[in-house]
C-alpha cells in the first residue's frame, strides 16, 4: 500500500476541471452573500431579493454550500500537492498561496469600509492587524470580511495533515490511516466536550477534507472498496450534520441542501475516476486563478457598490455588473498583486528554509589529509628542513 509502483496518473497533473469547480463554488458563495446575506434585503437592495430576482434568489439561498465544495476540493488538492514534499516545502507553498492576496484583500476591504461606510463600518484597527495573521477566529477577534471564517479552518487542516502525515513522509498507508483516525476523532470529540478539541479537529467540516483526500487517492492509485468506504462514511456524516448548519442558514431546507452535497460528492467521484480527464479547456486555469481573490474581496465591496448604485440601476443590471466587476478585480489582483508578491515571498521563504537546514545540519567532517611522502631520514623534506623525527626504514622495508 505504499506510494511506490501503484501510481495510475502523474502525481501533480494539472486538473483544469478542478479549477472550474473552484470558480463555480466561489460564485455560489458570491451570489449567496449578495442576495441572501445578513441585512442584504433591507439595506443593500432596499427590497426583497426574492421579488427582485425570482428563481435566482431561491437557488442562491443554498450558495453557502459552496464552502463545503471548497473543503472537498481542498482535501483533494492538498493531498496532491503534499506528495514528495517535506513539511518545510509544503509550508512555504501554502503560505505563498494564501497570504499575499489575503493581505491585500484585508487592506482594501478595510479601506473601502472606512471611506464608504454605506453598508458596514470598518473594524477596530487592532482587529485589522490581528486579521493579517489569518488567526483572528482563534484569538476571539471578528473577521474584517465575514467569508474569512473559512481560512483558519483550512490552516488547521494543513497543520494537522503536516504533523500527522507529512512529518514522517507521505505514503498511501499513512494517508489512509490519517483519514480513518481523523474520522474517529471527530465522532468521539463530543465526548471530550472541549472547545479546543472541536476546533482543532474541525469537527463540522472534517468529513469534506477526508473525502477529498480519499478521492485523490482514487485518482492517483485507483479506486478500491476501502477508499469508497471512507467516501461513503464521509458523505453520511456530511449529510447528517447539515441539520446544524441549516439552523444557521434559515433560508435553506434540508433535502435541497443534502441533494447539493450529494451532487458535490458525485462530481468529485467522476473526477477521481478519470471521467473528466478529457476536459482540457485552458481558460479554466485562469478561472481557477480568479477564485481566491474573488472569494476574499466579494462581500463587503460588492454590497457597498450595490448599496450605492441601487437607486440608479435596474436590479438585474446592477447584479450582473457587480459580479463582472468583482471578477475583473480578482483578475487584476491575481496578475498585479498575487503573482509578483508570491514570487518574492517564495524566494525569501526558501532562503530562510535553506538557512534552517544549514544551521541544523551536522558539522562537516574535515576530509582526511593525504600525508606528504616522507623524506628519507636525515634528508631534507619539501621545506628544506631535515626531520629527525621520521624513523629510519627497517631492514624489512629495504
Q: What is the DSSP string of 170-201?
A: --HHHHHHHHHHHHHHHHHHHHH--HHHHHHH
Tell me how far apart the terminal alpha carbons of the chain are, to the nearest angstrom.
65
Helix (H, G, I), strand (E, B) or coil at 61: coil
Rounded distance between C-alpha atoms, residue 341 and residue 247, angstroms: 40
CA distances from 292 to 24, 70, 100, 241 (A): 12, 11, 11, 26
Residue 376 resides in a domain: no
Which of 95-99, 256-260, 357-361 shows the lowest per-residue confidence on average (mean pLDDT)? 357-361
The mean pLDDT value for 217-246 works out to 94
Q: Where are the alpha helices (DSSP H) in 334-382?
A: 339-360
Mean of pLDDT over the chain: 85
* Residues, the chain: 398
How far, CA to CA in Å, does 384 sit from each of 272, 345, 377, 379, 391? 77, 58, 13, 9, 18
Q: Is it the case that residue 197 has pLDDT exceeding 60?
A: yes
The answer to whether position 207 is within a domain reads yes
8, part of any domain? no
Which of 9-13, 262-266, 315-319, 387-391 has the weakest average pLDDT? 387-391
| pLDDT score at 366 | 63
Note whether residue 120 is domain-resident.
yes
388 falls within a domain? no
Please determine, for residue 186, whether its predicted confidence score (pLDDT) is greater than 70.
yes
The partner residues of 116 in beta bridges, in order of sequence, read: none
Residue 235 belongs to some domain of the structure: yes
Q: Name residues whose C-beta falls within 8 Å of residue 363's C-beta, 6 or more positions apart in sequence.
A: none
- Contact between residue 221 and residue 88 where contact means Cβ atoms under 8 Å apart: no
C-alpha separations of 43 from 119, 232, 240, 392 in Å: 7, 42, 34, 104
In the chain, what percentage of residues exceed pLDDT 90? 58
Residue 388: what pLDDT? 35
Q: DSSP labels for 201-268?
A: HTTTTHHHHHHHHHHHHHHHH---HHHHHHHHHHHHHHHHTHHHHHHHSTT--HHHHHHHHHHHHHHH
- In this prediction, residue 367 has a pLDDT band, given cuts at 50, 70 and 90, of low
Nearest residue to 332 (alpha-carbon basis) of 289, 299, 301, 282: 289
Compute how many other C-beta atoms are within 10 angstroms of the C-beta atom of residue 362. 5
Domain count, the chain: 1
Structural domain includes residue 7: no
CA 279/CA 191 separation, integer angstroms: 45
Residue 396 has pLDDT above 50, yes or no: no
pTM, 2 dp: 0.84
More confident residue, 247 or 293: 293
More confidently predicted of 265 and 123: 265
pLDDT band at 12 (very low <50, low <70, confident <90, very high): very low
Tens digit of each residue's pLDDT (9 = 90 or more) over 156-176:
999 999 999 999 899 999 999
Residue 6 has pLDDT above 80, yes or no: no
Q: Looking at the domain assignment, is residue 372 inside a domain?
A: no
pLDDT of residue 93: 93
Helix then strand then coil, in percent of the chain rounded to 5, is 70, 0, 30
Domain residues for the domain of 232 are: 16-360
Most confident region among 26-40, 119-133, 297-311 by mean pLDDT: 297-311
Amino acid at each position: 500500500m505504499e506510494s511506490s509502483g501503484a501510481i495510475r496518473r502523474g502525481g501533480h497533473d494539472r486538473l483544469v476541471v478542478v479549477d472550474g469547480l473552484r470558480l463555480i463554488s466561489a460564485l455560489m458563495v458570491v451570489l449567496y452573500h449578495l442576495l441572501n446575506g445578513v441585512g442584504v434585503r433591507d439595506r443593500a437592495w432596499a427590497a426583497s431579493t426574492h421579488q427582485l430576482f425570482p428563481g435566482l434568489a431561491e437557488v442562491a439561498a443554498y450558495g453557502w454550500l459552496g464552502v463545503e465544495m471548497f473543503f472537498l476540493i481542498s482535501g483533494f488538492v492538498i493531498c496532491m500537492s503534499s506528495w514528495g514534499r517535506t513539511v518545510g516545502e509544503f509550508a512555504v507553498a501554502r503560505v505563498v498561496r494564501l497570504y499575499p492576496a489575503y493581505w491585500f484583500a484585508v487592506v482594501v476591504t478595510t479601506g473601502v469600509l472606512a471611506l464608504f461606510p454605506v453598508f458596514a463600518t470598518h473594524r477596530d484597527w487592532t482587529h485589522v492587524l490581528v486579521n493579517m495573521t489569518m488567526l483572528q477566529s482563534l484569538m476571539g477577534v471578528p473577521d474584517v470580511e465575514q467569508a474569512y471564517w473559512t481560512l483558519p479552518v483550512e490552516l488547521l487542516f494543513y497543520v494537522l495533515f503536516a504533523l500527522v502525515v507529512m512529518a514522517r513522509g507521505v505514503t498511501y498507508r499513512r494517508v489512509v490511516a490519517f483519514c480513518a483516525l481523523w474520522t474517529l476523532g471527530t465522532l468521539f470529540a463530543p465526548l471530550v466536550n472541549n472547545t479546543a478539541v472541536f476546533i482543532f479537529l474541525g469537527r463540522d467540516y472534517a468529513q469534506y477534507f477526508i473525502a477529498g483526500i480519499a478521492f485523490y487517492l482514487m485518482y492517483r492509485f485507483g479506486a478500491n472498496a476501502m477508499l469508497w468506504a471512507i467516501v461513503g462514511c464521509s458523505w453520511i456524516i456530511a449529510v447528517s450534520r447539515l441539520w446544524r448548519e441549516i439552523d444557521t442558514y434559515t433560508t435553506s431546507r434540508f433535502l435541497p441542501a443534502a441533494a447539493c452535497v450529494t451532487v458535490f460528492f458525485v462530481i468529485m467521484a467522476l473526477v477521481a475516476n478519470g471521467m473528466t480527464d478529457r476536459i482540457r479547456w485552458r481558460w479554466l486555469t485562469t478561472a481557477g486563478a480568479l477564485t481566491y481573490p474573488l472569494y476574499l474581496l466579494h462581500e463587503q465591496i460588492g454590497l457597498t457598490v450595490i448599496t450605492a448604485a441601487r437607486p440608479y440601476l435596474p436590479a438585474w443590471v446592477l447584479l450582473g455588473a457587480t459580479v463582472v466587476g468583482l471578477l475583473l478585480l480578482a483578475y487584476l489582483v491575481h496578475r498585479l498583486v498575487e503573482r509578483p508578491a508570491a514570487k518574492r515571498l517564495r524566494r525569501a521563504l526558501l532562503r530562510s528554509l535553506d538557512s534552517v537546514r544549514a544551521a541544523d545540519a551536522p558539522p562537516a567532517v574535515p576530509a582526511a589529509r593525504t600525508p606528504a611522502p616522507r623524506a628519507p631520514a636525515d634528508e631534507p623534506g619539501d621545506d628544506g628542513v631535515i626531520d629527525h623525527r621520521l624513523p629510519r626504514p627497517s631492514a624489512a622495508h629495504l
